[in-house]
A and B are shown apart, each in its own frame.
Chain A
Amino acid sequence: GQQVMQIPQYQHVQEGEDFTTYCNSSTTLSNIQWYKQRPGGHPVFLIQLVKSGEVKKQKRLTFQFGEAKKNSSLHITATQTTDVGTYFCAGRNSGNTPLVFGKGTRLSVIA
């Protein structure tokens, strides 16, 4: 079945440093989504990428979808303590199949 792998599992950064998490799928995806889960909270949708090679930005966050639509990345510039949490990527094979989540990258930011 479809698998979505995410690395690294954990990342500790000093406040102000950049952070990147990578997501790889065993199959071609129709779209990929990113979610953030704060400690003790529930996953919250950040963004969806649909097109091959797509790049989207949200303030300090940059999301990329690979040309082959099998990988994606999330880059955070100049991390802040508010960025703490676990970032999940989630992919779909087609529009009506369930989201398969990666195991997430837990980000800690040291002030």
Chain B
Amino acid sequence: DSGVTQTPKHLITATGQRVTLRCSPRSGDLSVYWYQQSLDQGLQFLIQYYNGEERAKGNILERFSAQQFPDLHSELNLSSLELGDSALYFCASSAQSGVGNTEAFFGQGTRLTVV
């Protein structure tokens, strides 16, 4: 158990819909990352938050948005869903101290299927 909790585990929804994925980071970790994993596409970095503020943006579509709340949990909102958005979405957290142990701990992922 990595200590990172993601809900839901599975999500099936129709094209054009909007969904919210939730992530609770490991206790004490201030940084949250969102990654998208499609078949044979590795882990695509979407966005990072650190202590409530957006820190870095990757290949995140304009239809997608995220936020980190004061209790440090994060939500990834995906709207106007398309078939191509079907993927495994991972949340990861790290201490992000800049020195020492900055490994990322991954949640179990949310498998999104758009039909």
Inter-chain contacts of A6 with B (CB < 8 A): 42
The contact of B90 among A42, A90, A95, by CB within 8 Å, is: A42
Q: Chain B contact residues (Cβ within 8 angstroms of A): what range?
A: 20 to 34
User: Helix, strand, loop or mixed for chain A's interface?
Assistant: loop
Q: For the complex formed, measure the closest distance between the CB of B57 and the CB atoms of chain A, giving whole angstroms.
A: 9
Residue-wise, chain B 27-48 has the 8 Å CB interface mask toward A (1 for contact) of 0000001010000111111001
Closest B residue to A100 by beta carbon equals B45
Whether a CB of chain B sits under 8 angstroms from the CB of A61 is no
Question: A43–B33 contact, CB under 8 A?
Answer: no
Inter-chain contacts of B33 with A (CB < 8 A): 98-99
Expressed in whole angstroms, the Cα–Cα distance for A104 and B39 within the complex equals 11
Expressed in whole angstroms, the Cα–Cα distance for A111 and B101 within the complex equals 36
Question: A43–B98 contact, CB under 8 A?
Answer: no
Inter-chain contacts of A95 with B (CB < 8 A): 97-99, 102
Number of A interface residues at 8 Å Cβ cutoff, please give it: 24
Residue-wise, chain B 86-107 has the 8 Å CB interface mask toward A (1 for contact) of 0000101000111101111111
Whether a CB of chain B sits under 8 angstroms from the CB of A48 is yes
Inter-chain contacts of A88 with B (CB < 8 A): 42-43
Question: B42–A42 contact, CB under 8 A?
Answer: no
Question: A42–B108 contact, CB under 8 A?
Answer: yes
Expressed in whole angstroms, the Cα–Cα distance for A92 and B35 within the complex equals 15
Expressed in whole angstroms, the Cα–Cα distance for A102 and B90 within the complex equals 15
Inter-chain contacts of B102 with A (CB < 8 A): 31, 48, 92, 95
11 new A-B contacts at CB < 8 Å, known A44-B106, A96-B98, A99-B92:
A42-B106, A45-B104, A48-B101, A48-B103, A90-B104, A92-B102, A94-B98, A95-B99, A98-B55, A98-B56, A101-B35
B residues at A contact (CB < 8 Å): 2, 33, 35, 40-45, 48, 50, 55-56, 58, 90, 92, 96-99, 101-109
